[in-house]
Structure 1
Amino acid sequence: MAPLLSRTLDPVLGVCTGIFAYYLYESHPRTALPEQDRLLPLLKWKLEKGRKEREAALGAEDEVIDWKALAAVAEEKK
Structure 2
Amino acid sequence: MPPVLLSRRLDPLLGVFTGVFAYYLYESHPRNAVPPEERLTALIKWKYNKWRNEREQRLTAGNDDEIDLKALAVEVEK
Please indicate the TM-score interval, normalised by the length of the shorter structure: 0.5 to 0.7
Q: Alpha carbon RMSD of aligned pairs, Å?
A: 2.1
Which runs of 5 or more structure 1 residues have no equivalent in the other structure? 62-78
SS at match of 1:33: coil
Indicate whether 1:13 and 2:14 are aligned: yes
**Is 1:41 equivalent to 2:42 in the alignment?**
yes
Over 2 Å off, 4+ runs:
none
> Which residue identity lines up with residue 23 of structure 2 in the other structure?
Y
Give, in whole Å, the separation in 2 of the partners of 1:50 and 1:16: 27
More helix by share: 2
The unaligned stretches of length 5 or more in structure 2 are: 64-78
Q: For this pair of structures, how many residues does the alignment match?
A: 58
The one-letter code of the counterpart of 1:48 is N
Task: Report sequence identity in percent.
Answer: 66
Equivalent-residue separation in structure 2 for 1:54 and 1:6 (angstroms): 41
TM-score normalised to the size of structure 1? 0.63
SS of 2:7's equivalent in the other structure is coil
Distance 1:7 1:56 in 2: 44
Q: Which residue of 1 aligns with 2:51?
A: 50
